[in-house]
Amino acid sequence: MRVGIVGVGRMGGPIARALHRAEDADLIALDVDPVALAGLPEGLRATTEARDLSDLDVLVTVLPGPAEVAGALGGDGSLLEAVRPGGVWLDLTSNDPGVATEVAGRAAARGIASVAAPMSGGPAEARSGSLDFVVAGDPEAVGRIAPLLRRLGAGGELRRAGADVAAAHVVKLLGNALWFAQALATTEALLVARSAGLDPEAVAALLRTGPGASRFLDREVDHVLAGDLMPEFGIDRVVDELRSVAALADAGQVEASVLDASLRVHVAALDRYGPALGEMLGARLVEERSGGPLARPPFEPAPPAEG
């Protein structure tokens, strides 16, 4: 199987290394940044020139976002020209559903099937082969690329969202939107606990087993308590994704006031900190507005009121 991977940065680099280890994949990597290519293993063919990609069975895109996908695969000189008829475009990008639909239409006109498999996980999961994917696309094409996804960490059954590539991106956007909102709500709850004289860390442990228990409390709240901004993802990308969700809600005439509130806080964080890396910057802004970060030094209980 002749595979081309486009984008070998923080996520694409580890993915390219994993695919390079596969005996059944003849791999070539493309990136406009020669520094990114220099970090690839010896023996993996790499190029900064799109013309070096040709006759591909699978074109894998691991790009920063929708604008990069549209730029690489739209219009004249599209990288879709490198894929043979009957091949597959596999998009691992956190893409916009509209952009994915448009590019899939271009691909179909060339006889190329499209599969969307936006990733959950960061560079550490990419390196360890423990990424998670929501997959959508033509069932036959999904079957063909399933071995590649399982090699990257999807494990057994793939989580399928349907035949429309846009569906996978909608599911990914909604999952991220819930995560970002939970980060804010959890931070607010712990700030309220602190203001009431309670130890935020102890309260977090109690909340994990209460009616408000969540995956965020189980797996992520320690980042809040440690002051970890989680710099794998930029606040500008958080805002982009939340705006995409807001557009979906508007198009469907859905009242989404809670998600809109989350968007407003994250836009304010982008204005405050600039396009910095840190998907917890929205939570940091809430802390800044509410007496300072929850991160240790160790919690000091409020003294008892006199009288």
Beta strand extents in 11-156 (DSSP E only): 26-30, 45-47, 56-61, 83-91, 113-116, 119-120, 132-137
Q: Given this model, what pLDDT does residue 300 score?
A: 45
Q: Which domains are present in the chain? A: 2-163 (3.40.50.720), 170-288 (1.10.1040.10)
Q: Please give the mean pLDDT across all residues of the chain.
A: 92
* Rounded-to-integer distance, Cα 177 and Cα 172, Å: 9
* Rounded-to-integer distance, Cα 171 and Cα 97, Å: 10
Average pLDDT over residues 210-232: 93
Average pLDDT over residues 125-143: 92
Quick check: 93 pLDDT over 60?
A: yes
Q: In the chain, what is the greatest distance between 2 CA atoms, to the nearest angstrom?
A: 83
Quick check: 269 pLDDT over 60?
A: yes
Q: Given this model, what pLDDT does residue 297 score?
A: 55
The pLDDT confidence band at residue 77, using thresholds 50, 70 and 90, is: confident
pTM of the model: 0.90
Q: Given this model, what pLDDT does residue 123 score?
A: 87
Average pLDDT over residues 58-86: 94
Task: Kindly state the helix (H) or strand (E) to which residue 140 belongs, with its residue range.
Answer: helix 139-149
CA 26 from centroid of its chain's CA atoms: 26
The pLDDT confidence band at residue 158, using thresholds 50, 70 and 90, is: confident
CA 289 from centroid of its chain's CA atoms: 28
Q: Given this model, what pLDDT does residue 157 score?
A: 64
For residues 127 and 180, the model is more confident at 180
Average pLDDT over residues 256-281: 96
For residues 211 and 74, the model is more confident at 211
Q: Compute how many other C-beta atoms are within 10 angstroms of the C-beta atom of residue 9.
A: 16
